[in-house]
């Protein structure tokens, strides 16, 4: 949802970022800044800075930075709208009115959340107290789930009767048609009836805490073993992960998440002391789930069942996790084990050893590929060619290391794989083009954004009202770095509203990357930055920057013109007199501008 900029400005104005962050981090004053230990990574020397006058925080250790919205997003692992709601409630700011359509959708979602919450409480109470839940309580005890874990995860039991939950919902005035949309009940010829019956109930929560879905496990061996909530207005199957709302808060120690297949596997790991475990909610692992994990952690331990299906699922999950930038390691369970059975039988220490010995994803994939190659009766040369093709699918920096590893697994020498490179590269067998080799011109990579762009933008941000004075004099094309150009364009458009720091943040509230870029402009200690005694000295500095940019543009035009003259000369073609005169004029202008910058005549 889009949050009105006026509301953002009001929230920022009412929120003292230093005082707010001080509720979570012990800060001490250092000059104009507040300094403390970063809450987002482990450190012994304080590198976390809060700039109350600018409304920013920045960690010089891990690089995280932004405004108070970013701090809440990072701390609570929530989206920007969710952070805005948290801060608005604290600051006493009412967010913008919703359209009738938006209000209706939100109202429906809120009703479904409430129905799910009521259902979870009903199922939990039934498991704890109802005589008919005795078999379910015995099953929970048999699975080694403690009373505390039952309460913590709000595990429950759906009674076998057809209208137990229906009556509970009606007694609290809930619309059963909305409960049907939530997947809690179904409508038949004689009215509504319970969707879940005679099953252990496991609620799934959104990262913001609302109950969004349920998994119902059969207790009598009947099939299907699990019945899970399908798509609803508040739940998209294949996108969320079970227990992620808990695991995201427990990353400080390891900085990694453990992914398992089943609800009870995940619950068993939490009970054993691994609160960073999540489960894939009864679906095949999806790209959306991989992207969701990457929001919270880069390091992922994959711990699926030790059977053929688990191995195939692991291989697929690796591709998805690597594609979104995760570093995956594979936890290898003994044959026939799953995380639940292993940790119950052998305990926390044994599972911690498995995590310590987890294989890098490349090694796991190569092992599976080597086993597949060895299982076929093919010539050694073919084995070497297939192995080299596999090695060359990995990052180039890893080729030599994994070529040696894979060769040893296949009983070959690394040189056998190296010699097969010609065969492994299909380009060597492509038809030759007539006319000999084609020359390609090497293009140098783009240079890093000039420091002068950064200096100009940072100086304008020092006094936001300057955008009103200079926006029309500075073309956006001045900024070659796309992020800086985007910020300058947005702030120029809002120049009339820019007065203080939180006006800048409000103007960029729709572009969270831009807000984080503003924090990166503080990437050096303030004591080393240019200081201005007043607004006039700041304006003089901007004028000098603009003069420097003018010189840079003149130099660029002169270089282009000179290169064209050189090409004409080398080709034996006549050089237009106008170009020679233009080059002289540009050189004179460059010299005059340089003298002006140096303060000489």
CB atoms within 10 A of CB 377: 5
pTM over the 0.75 mark:
no
Instruction: Find all residues with CB under 8 Å of 383, minimum gap 6, and list them.
Output: 373, 374, 410, 412
Q: Which CATH number fits domain 105-228: 3.40.50.2300, 3.90.980.10, 3.90.1150.10, 1.10.3470.10?
A: 3.90.980.10
Question: In angstroms, rounded to a whole number, what is the distance separating the alpha carbons of residues 516 and 58?
Answer: 9
Mean pLDDT of 225-254: 86
What backbone phi and psi angles, to 5 degrees, belong to 572? Answer: 75, 25
Q: Beta partners for 217?
A: 200, 226
Question: In angstroms, rounded to a whole number, what is the distance separating the alpha carbons of residues 272 and 258?
Answer: 13
What percent of the chain lies above the pLDDT cut of 90? Answer: 31
Residue 224, preceding peptide bond in cis (omega within 30° of 0): yes
* Each residue's pLDDT tens digit, 257-276: 999 999 999 999 999 999 99
Question: In angstroms, rounded to a whole number, what is the distance separating the alpha carbons of residues 81 and 420?
Answer: 55
Question: In angstroms, rounded to a whole number, what is the distance separating the alpha carbons of residues 120 and 183?
Answer: 13
Please report which confidence band the pLDDT of residue 341 belongs to, taking 50, 70 and 90 as the band edges. Answer: very high
- Reply yes or no on whether the pLDDT at 212 is more than 70: yes
At the top level of CATH, which class does the domain 244-357 belong to?
Answer: alpha beta
More confident residue, 326 or 119: 119
Q: Please choose, from the candidates 159, 194, 181, the residue with its C-alpha nearest in 3D space to the C-alpha of residue 230.
A: 181
**Cβ atoms of 275 and 151 closer than 8 Å:** no
More confident residue, 408 or 418: 408
**Cβ atoms of 508 and 518 closer than 8 Å:** yes
Longest dimension (CA), the chain: 103
Question: In angstroms, rounded to a whole number, what is the distance separating the alpha carbons of residues 391 and 313?
Answer: 22
By DSSP bridging, strand 299-302 and strand 327-330 are: parallel
Question: In angstroms, rounded to a whole number, what is the distance separating the alpha carbons of residues 34 and 62?
Answer: 17
At the top level of CATH, which class does the domain 451-523+530-598 belong to?
Answer: mainly alpha
**Cβ atoms of 489 and 514 closer than 8 Å:** no
5-91 is a CATH 3.90.580.10 domain: yes
Please report which confidence band the pLDDT of residue 15 belongs to, taking 50, 70 and 90 as the band edges. Answer: confident
* Each residue's pLDDT tens digit, 447-483: 334 577 788 888 888 788 888 888 888 887 888 888 8
What backbone phi and psi angles, to 5 degrees, belong to 204? Answer: -110, 135
Q: Please choose, from the candidates 250, 249, 251, 229, the residue with its C-alpha nearest in 3D space to the C-alpha of residue 240.
A: 229
Please report which confidence band the pLDDT of residue 493 belongs to, taking 50, 70 and 90 as the band edges. Answer: confident
Please, how many CA atoms are within 13 Å of residue 521, restricted to the half-sphere of its CB?
Answer: 25
Question: In angstroms, rounded to a whole number, what is the distance separating the alpha carbons of residues 313 and 306?
Answer: 11
């Amino acid at each position: 949802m889009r949050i009105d900029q006026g509301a953002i400005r009001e929230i920022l104005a009412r929120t003292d970022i230093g005082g707010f962050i001080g509720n979570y981090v012990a800060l001490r004053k250092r000059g104009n800044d507040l300094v403390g230990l970063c809450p987002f990574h482990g450190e012994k020397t304080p590198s976390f800075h809060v700039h109350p006058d600018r409304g920013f925080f920045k960690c010089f250790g891990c690089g995280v930075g932004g405004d108070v919205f970013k701090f809440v997003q990072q701390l609570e692992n929530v989206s920007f709208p969710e952070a805005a709601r948290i801060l608005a409630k604290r600051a006493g700011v009412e967010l913008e009115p919703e359209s009738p359509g938006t209000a209706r959708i939100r109202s429906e979602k809120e009703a479904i959340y409430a129905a799910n919450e009521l259902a979870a409480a009903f199922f939990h109470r039934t498991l704890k107290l109802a005589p008919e839940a005795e078999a379910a309580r015995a099953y929970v005890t048999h699975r080694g789930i403690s009373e505390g874990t039952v309460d913590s995860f709000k595990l429950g039991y759906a009674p076998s009767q057809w209208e137990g939950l229906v009556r509970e919902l009606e007694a609290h005035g809930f619309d059963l048609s909305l409960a049907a949309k939530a997947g809690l009940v179904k409508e038949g010829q004689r009215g509504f009836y319970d969707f879940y019956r005679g099953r252990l109930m496991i609620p799934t929560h959104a990262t913001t805490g609302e109950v969004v879905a349920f998994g119902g496990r059969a207790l009598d061996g009947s099939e299907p073993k699990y019945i899970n909530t399908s798509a609803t207005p508040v739940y998209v199957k294949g996108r969320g992960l079970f227990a992620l709302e808990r695991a995201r808060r427990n990353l400080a120690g390891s900085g990694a998440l453990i992914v398992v297949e089943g609800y009870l596997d995940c619950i068993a790991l939490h009970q054993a002391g691994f609160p960073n475990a999540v489960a894939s909610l009864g679906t095949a692992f999806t790209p959306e789930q991989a992207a969701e994990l990457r929001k919270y952690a880069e390091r992922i331990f994959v711990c699926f069942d030790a059977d053929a299906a688990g191995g195939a699922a692991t291989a697929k999950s690796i591709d998805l996790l690597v594609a979104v930038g995760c570093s995956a390691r594979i936890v290898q369970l003994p044959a026939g084990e799953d995380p639940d059975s292993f940790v119950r039988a052998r305990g926390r220490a044994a599972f911690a050893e498995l995590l310590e010995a987890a294989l890098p994803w490349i090694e796991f994939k190569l092992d599976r590929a080597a086993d597949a190659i060895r299982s076929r009766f093919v010539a050694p040369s073919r084995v070497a060619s297939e192995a080299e093709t596999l090695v060359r699918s990995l990052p180039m920096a890893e080729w030599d290391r994994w070529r040696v590893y894979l060769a040893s697994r296949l009983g070959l020498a690394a040189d056998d794989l190296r010699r097969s490179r010609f065969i492994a590269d299909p380009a060597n067998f492509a038809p030759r083009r007539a006319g000999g080799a084609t020359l390609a011109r090497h293009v140098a990579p783009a240079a890093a954004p000039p420091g002068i762009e950064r200096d100009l933008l940072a100086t304008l941000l020092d006094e936001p009202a300057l955008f009103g004075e200079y926006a029309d004099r500075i073309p956006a094309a001045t900024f070659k770095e796309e992020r800086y150009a985007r910020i300058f364009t947005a702030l120029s458009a809002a120049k009339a509203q820019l007065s203080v720091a939180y006006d800048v943040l409000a103007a960029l509230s729709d572009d969270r990357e831009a807000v984080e870029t503003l924090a990166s402009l503080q990437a050096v200690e303030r004591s080393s930055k240019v200081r201005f005694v007043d607004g006039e000295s700041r304006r003089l500095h901007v004028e000098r920057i603009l003069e420097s940019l003018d010189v840079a543009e003149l130099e660029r035009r002169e270089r282009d013109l000179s290169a064209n003259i050189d090409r004409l000369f080398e080709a034996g073609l006549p050089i237009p007199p106008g170009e020679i005169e233009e080059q002289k004029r540009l050189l004179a202008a460059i010299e005059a501008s340089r003298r002006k910058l140096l303060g000489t005549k």
